[in-house]
Amino acid sequence: MTPSGITRRTALATTALLLGGAAQAQVEDRTIRIGTTVPADHPISLGAKKFTEIVAAKSAGKLKVKDYPALALGPELQQQSALIGGVQEMFVPSSATLAGIVREFTLLDLPYLIRNPAQADALMDGPFGQALLAKLPEKGLVGLAMWENGLRHITNSRHPIQKLEDVQGLKIRVQQNPIFIDMFKALKANPVPMSFGEVYGALETKALDAQENPLLVARSAKLYEVQKYASLTGHAYGVIIVLVSKKLWDKLSADERKLLQASALEARDYQRQVSREQARKAMEELKAAGMVINEVAPAELDRMRQAVQPVADRALQTFDPALVRLLRSELERVSHIG
């Protein structure tokens, strides 16, 4: 059984214990707000919505979680600060947001860390994922689970990316993230850090040739209107962290903590399933909208991995050797999955 399967069984067992002992469980009437950064129909927000439903069912309505999608509670860093200060209860950001206070989360941005979602599940739900989450409490946060934002791919207006050389020279928008900048420099593209809100206009005016994101983002942002080609490079994997304010966590009873933990894991399995279903649907919708989508041959993906390996090697030298050894051993363990 895979680690995610074991975790699922543990969550279900915990749920059964909570439900069986509902009369004795120490669960107070509370209202908890959980914020997300994406629209209500995005898999991340759908996961948060499912979480609210699971918590309501497990607590017989005593714990009331209200979801706030689409940055309704403020920008990412504002919500993160609100959790640390105890002003907001829960938040579901990307791992990149956390990297500003726990640098080890940038390890999740390493190029070609995993090859498929099954490997990602095993890595995030295993000892390495737990080691990262264990670094949050000292920063005022508690991580309950790792959800997904999916594999990132390249879209552009010039040509399909079928080989390493096709990336060269592309003026591509990237996140304001040193690893992503170095990754695309290694691929001999011209990376341009830019907030996503500016990307559509830059692509439309040809100030940019390309951008990289999960296909769901390309669909929701209507990038098919300004980008002709989408190539399945899978060069990085987006991770989402379910966070609770430690100030709230410290006030909760053991039963309440178990309930929230089990609910986050159960919602995780739902969220990943919805994310992958929507990614497949997004691909078909992008094709129907006129986008040309191509896979990249395994041999060419290997060439890309080799080109960016020095970026990963340099980054790894700057982290705790014990954590790097754990990451390497976990990557070896999951390498044959999927």
* % the chain with pLDDT above 70: 93
In single-letter form, the type of residue at position 128 comes to: F
Taken in order of first residue, the domains within the chain and their CATH numbers are: 3-148+239-280 (3.40.190.170), 153-236+281-328 (3.40.190.170)
Higher per-residue confidence, 105 vs 11: 105
Q: Distances from the Cα of 137 to the Cαs of 102, 143, 203, 213, 250, in angstroms? A: 10, 8, 40, 30, 10
Q: What does the H/E/C string look like for the chain?
A: CCHHHHHHHHHHHHHHHHHHCCCCCCCCCEEEEEEECCCCCCHHHHHHHHHHHHHHHHCCCCEEEEEECCCCCCCHHHHHHHHHHCCCCEEECEHHHHCCCCHHHHHHHCCCCCCCHHHHHHHHHCHHHHHHHCCCHHHCEEEEEEEEEEEEEEEECCCCCCCHHHCCCCEEEECCCHHHHHHHHHCCCEEEECCHHHHHHHHHCCCCCEEEECHHHHHHCCHHHCCCEEEEEEEEEEEEEEEEEHHHHCCCCHHHHHHHHHHHHHHHHHHHHHHHHHHHHHHHHHHHCCCEEEECCHHHHHHHHHHHHHHHHHHHCCCCHHHHHHHHHHHHHHCCCC
Whole-prediction pTM: 0.89
Instruction: Name residue, tokens 């999916």.
Output: 150
Decide if pLDDT at 165 tops 70: yes
Per-residue model confidence as pLDDT tens digits over 20-73: 444 457 999 999 999 999 999 999 999 999 999 999 999 999 999 999 999 999
Per-residue model confidence as pLDDT tens digits over 239-290: 999 999 999 999 999 999 999 999 999 999 999 999 999 999 999 999 999 9
Structure tokens, 93: 């950001």
Decide if pLDDT at 309 tops 60: yes
